[in-house]
Amino acid sequence: MTYSPRFDEALVYASGLHREQTRKGSGIPYVNHLLGVAAIVGEAGGSEDQVIAALLHDAVEDQGGLETLEEIRKRFGEAVADMVMSCTDTVETPKPAWRPRKEAYVAHVATADEDALLVSIADKLYNARTILFGLRSDGVSFWDRFSAKRDGSLWYYRALVSAFRARGCQPLLVDELDRTVTALEADGDAA
């Protein structure tokens, strides 16, 4: 499969939206995360719409809320907009408290559209891998970058593994997420 000019447009649009954003606690451009999630989705056999949704999955939450969602719907269609919204845990500013927001997202996995779940699993896998890399390179102080710290973060990723597994979709990616979370738990325990 090859991607159409819609992919190119989404790539430029996502890069523009997140141009000034960096990954939490680092100077790494946020677009690297979007590219990584899109790569996982594409390599798992995702459709062009799913890859585009992966590029835009944080746009609503981080870059403009419902106004951005409507722009995504206009530019890339209903299916992409629905997947992006499914990957969004809040449109409120300021964001609600972390734990209830994450509990609601874990519960949402049970009813989320399967196309959107591929994007969500890829996002969580990319994030877990990034945390593992940071933990191994920076040590336990890496957890200080996160409002939920170690215990909250590990709870969230373990709960997501269970929720994704219960849905029965993308078992290879869920297994990889499970292995990554297990490594996070072991590295944290060793410290």
Q: Specify the CATH number for the domain of residue 98.
A: 1.10.3210.10
Catalytic annotation, pick one of 48, 62, 113, 187: 62
- Cα separation of 174 and 188, whole Å? 21
Measuring CA to CA, how many Å separate 149 from each of 40, 129, 134, 140, 187? 26, 16, 13, 10, 14
Catalytic annotation, pick one of 49, 61, 82, 115: 61
pLDDT digits (tens, 9 = 90+) for 25-71: 788 999 999 999 999 999 999 999 999 999 999 999 999 999 999 99
The whole model's pTM is what?
0.95
Active site residue 89: no
Active site residue 178: no
Q: Provide the domain limits for residue 117.
A: 5-190
How many domains, the chain? 1
